[in-house]
Structure 1
């Protein structure tokens, strides 16, 4: 199948449960979400990075209601093409699930401007582009927008500052859109998952190590032990988490189907707890809770190991 084409018949009437577009469906939470929504009766258009990802997803589809298209949400032409596909096939859109995203980990001192812009471009600017392009289709169906953030959208964690900044921005974007679009019949909700075991944690660990490798040795040495301990702790937390990708997918389903959709849904006790702490604790107490994360910063034995 060629790029920006969707397999299946041409435009027809909008099905009762309607078409839903899910970005970031190549793997992890997005993949699980696309399959769950198809199982529940939606017509699903899965946005993937590569055609091979889409073909693999098709083999896992059990009901014949899932299609895929390759979307780069940071490319305006690709985003517009996805809207034209939905227009051509269904003429309207019941739901847009903005799940695609990346995580740029590392101390902010070690993250250059290009990396930081990339973090915001994918996790914030790209999602706004998707929303703007698909809004006419959503209005026709009194559709819903689900923006996926995380517990880090309410509290900034050391060594995930760039990611937290993007999640904070997406939370603000969602608040503004909910208030602006509500009068037109388009509902906007946030789904914030906590730690869930998916392939993203391996990617985050590799990216964190690369951030240090790309940083001047004296600066990298300040953070190496602390960052490595943090990344290992993150992976362990995900492995120990009782929240599953299925839990996330069911939460997205609720956001799309509740008679009175909430502004925010939490997928995982840790995400809810983080939001509660950020709301209730004064900054000094919240800072104290994160001291264990940064305790090894600048400690002896953190010199750059490179020859």
Structure 2
């Protein structure tokens, strides 16, 4: 990777969607990017996009499974051996789950927490000594689902709420040692995220039992929302801004729609506005 003195940024979950777009955008902004993914066999789309953008020389692909501490340690050791420093981490790897607790049990909740929360915690913990040394930053892609709980997303939203609380609590502590912390909250993004959940809608509806009418209403509403979604490239722009800004904010949304959605919750002290809004999604 021909980075010279470029800042070294490690990004998780880069095989598609926001992660892939962020890799390309960060490289265009002058960063040397370590693009990580659980299965490097899925790197072809990223390599092709980097070549088309003329930034392939600023990107290297490494294997990293955020749920495996040994994998995290090995990846960071490789980055430090190769570059001698780490300037930023973008926690982007994540997984969704659609369903409800009575029908699904607790296993999906545990699985969502492992990827979306504990994976973020593990990567951040391992990176912090190196970010202290560089005066670097942690940028974590959460979701508006980390601010507003959404029907049939109990597992996903629980994990993203946990990430928001973790990062908001970490931010002032990390600042005392020169590390900036930012959470980035996308709304609907036209990416492979829904497809990557391997949702079989007929089977999901059939398994929903008494919740089937509400689930069908939710799915209809959500498909319409994703029909008007922003692109991964649009969602990546605020992430790269958080990487390059002199004083990045603690929290940023990626679109006007996301700002309005999150703003409903942040101004809703008794919860009634959110309850009215999300209640309309399931009838």
Q: TM-score, normalised by structure 2?
A: 0.92
Q: Does 1:88 align with 2:78?
A: no
Match of 2:243 in 1: 256
Report the alpha carbon displacement of residue 15 of structure 1 after superposing the two structures with TM. Answer: 4.1
User: Distance in 1 between the 2:225 and 2:33 partners?
Assistant: 31
Name 1:125's counterpart in structure 2: 118
Q: What is the CA distance between 1:209 and its match in structure 2?
A: 5.5
Distance 1:205 1:67, change over 3 A: closer
1:203 offset after TM fit, Å? Answer: 3.7
Cα 1:289–1:60 shift into 2, 3 Å: closer
Q: How does 1:61-80 map to 2 (within 5 A)?
A: 61=50, 62-63=54-55, 64-80=57-73
What is the alpha-carbon distance in structure 1 between the residues aligned to residue 279 and residue 69 of structure 2? 41
Q: Kindly tell me the number of residue pairs found equivalent between the two proteins.
A: 278
Can you give the 5+ residue segments of structure 2 that lack an aligned partner in the other structure? none
| Counterpart-to-counterpart distance in 2, 1:31 and 1:174 | 23
Matches of 1:205 and 1:291 in 2, distance apart?
A: 26
- Aligned counterparts, 1:1-307, within 5 A: 15-61=4-50, 62-63=54-55, 64-204=57-197, 206=199, 211=204, 215=207, 220-241=208-229, 243-281=230-268, 282-295=270-283
Alignment deviations for residues 177-221 of structure 1 (CA, whole Å, 9 cap, x no partner): 1111111111100010111111112344716665556x5xxxx22
Runs of 4+ in 1 over 4 A off after TM superposition: 207-213
Query: How big is the shift at 1:39?
Result: 1.4
Secondary structure of 2:199's counterpart equals: helix
CA RMSD of superposed structures (Å):
1.9
Partner of 1:184: helix, strand, or coil?
coil
Match in the other structure for 1:3: none
Deviation at residue 37 of structure 1 after TM alignment: 0.7
Shift of 1:74: 0.3
Task: Report the Cα distance in structure 1 between the residues aligned to 2:200 and 2:166, rounded to whole angstroms.
Answer: 26
Residues 195 and 171 (structure 1), Cα distance of their counterparts in 2 relative to 1, 3 Å cut: same
Contact 2:264–2:273, Cα closer than 8 Å, also in 1? no
Question: CA 1:197–1:239 in 2, change beyond 3 Å: closer, same or farther?
Answer: same
TM-score (norm 1): 0.85
CA contact (8 A) 1:49 1:72 kept: yes
**Aligned with 2:60: secondary structure?**
strand
Structure 2 residue matching 1:29: 3-state secondary structure: helix
For residues 75-109 of structure 1, give each alpha carbon's deviation from its aligned partner in whole angstroms, at most 9, with x where no partner exists.
11101111101111111111100000001111222
Distance 1:40 1:80 in 2: 27
